[in-house]
Amino acid sequence: MRNNTIGFIFQSYNLINRTTVLKNVEFPGITGGMNDDDRRRRVLKLLNFLGIKDKTKYKSSNLSGGQQQRVAIARALMNDPKMILADEPTGNLDTKTGQDVFNLLTLQSREFRRMIIMVTHNPELAAATDRAIHIRDGTIEKETMKSSITHANEFKHRTCFKRHRHHSSANAGFGSNTCKSSNICIQVLLRKALLRTWTLLRTWTSWRPFLSRTSWQLLSWTSWRLCL
User: How many Cβ atoms are within 10 Å of 196's Cβ, its own excluded?
Assistant: 13
Regarding whether 85 and 120 lie in a shared domain, the answer is yes
Regarding whether 61 and 164 lie in a shared domain, the answer is no
The verdict on residue 11 lying in a domain is yes
Dist CA 109 CA 83 (whole Å): 9
Dist CA 70 CA 51 (whole Å): 8
| Closest residue by Cα to residue 18 from 58, 53, 50 | 58
- pTM for the structure as a whole: 0.64
The verdict on residue 138 lying in a domain is no
Question: In sequence order, which residues have a C-beta less than 8 Å from that of residue 117 and are 6 or more positions away?
Answer: 83, 84, 85, 86, 218, 219, 222
Range of the domain at 15: 2-129
The verdict on residue 52 lying in a domain is yes
The verdict on residue 53 lying in a domain is yes
Backbone angles phi, psi at 202, to 5 degrees: -65, -40
Number of structural domains (the chain) is 2
User: pLDDT, tens digit, for every residue of 107-158?
Assistant: 998 888 899 999 999 999 999 999 999 999 889 899 988 865 554 554 444 4
Mean pLDDT of the 194-220 span: 59
In this structure, which amino acid lies at residue 76? A
User: pLDDT, tens digit, for every residue of 55-110?
Assistant: 999 999 999 999 999 999 999 999 999 999 999 999 889 999 999 999 999 999 88
Regarding whether 68 and 162 lie in a shared domain, the answer is no
Regarding whether 104 and 158 lie in a shared domain, the answer is no
For residues 172, 175, 181, 182, the Cα torsion angle rounded to the nearest 10 degrees is 90
Q: H or E segment at 8?
A: strand 6-10
